[in-house]
Amino acid sequence: MGDRETLRQAKLSSGLLDFEDLVRACRSYRRFRADEPLGRGFLLALVDIARKCASAANRQPLRYAIVDEPAAAAELFGGLRWAAALKEWSGPVEGERPSAYIVIFADGEPGNFTWCDCGIAAQTIALAATEAGAGLCMLASFDPKVVRAVVGEAADALTPLLVLALGVPAETSVLETAASGADLAYWRGPDDVHHVPKRALADVLVASGE
Ligand SMILES: Cc1cc2nc3c(=O)[nH]c(=O)nc-3n(C[C@H](O)[C@H](O)[C@H](O)COP(=O)(O)O)c2cc1C
């Protein structure tokens, strides 16, 4: 049996195939159906799920702001930098912009593990959103002044870490396995499909014990 088949059998017998499909669908989406808002209840549910995640020493330093009011969302959009690798594209046009945002903050200055906590929370929100038919893009490239202006004095004692731009995806994104040493930059084809190369299993395993 080849390596691929062994891997497939292992996923099949452990019930991981459905979960892998979810992770595969859980891509960075940057174009959305702006006319399909997610609803405040759904956004609150995502934060309620995130607060149950693992946290170093269970310190739980993260705080969350939901930005879904149209004027505030438009202001926040102005402080975001989209897809550095897509040089010809300056971000989603009107009608394709995120309908809401969740901003993840650190309470005070981030500690040693705060970014790790943030990643765990962000990916959990991403998976939950994907499971429900929504999608998001995590953005660390943003103007903190704009974030502070939008969130107001509630953000005074907080440090913005990551902006999650959410909506119902209006684009297709596919994963590809990158050849060893190949360029890992994501790209968009003439058919408008977004392609994301990922390193092969053999290229990320450093010691498999075999
Ligand atoms: C911590 C972090 C910060 C990111 N910041 C940005 C960003 O500022 N702007 C953006 O367009 N995408 C951003 N992304 C999305 C990445 O570009 C994306 O994850 C990568 O291209 C791989 O695509 P995938 O998420 O579909 O696997 C960020 C992702 C992560 C995890």
**CATH top class, domain 172-210:** mainly beta
For residue 120, give both structure tokens.
């765990």
The pTM score is: 0.96
Are the C-beta atoms of 194 and 171 separated by less than 8 Å? yes
Q: What is the pLDDT of residues 15-58, one digit of tens each?
A: 888 999 999 999 999 999 999 999 999 999 999 999 999 999 99
- Which atom of ligand 1 is nearest the CA belonging to 142? 8
Are the C-beta atoms of 100 and 164 separated by less than 8 Å? no
Rounded percentage of the chain residues whose pLDDT exceeds 70: 98
CATH of domain 27-171: 3.40.109.10
Q: Rounded distance, CA 178 to CA 119, Å?
A: 24
Asked if residue 149 has its Cβ within 6 Å of ligand 1, the reply is no
Among the listed residues 141, 126, 125, the one whose alpha carbon sits nearest the alpha carbon of residue 79: 141
Q: For position 75, what pLDDT does the model report?
A: 98
Asked if residue 196 has its Cβ within 6 Å of ligand 1, the reply is yes
Sorted by where each begins, the domain ranges of the chain are 27-171, 172-210
Q: What is the pLDDT of residues 126-143, one digit of tens each?
A: 999 999 999 999 999 999
Are the C-beta atoms of 127 and 26 separated by less than 8 Å? yes
Give Cα separations from 145 to 47, 76, 79, 159 (angstroms). 23, 10, 8, 11
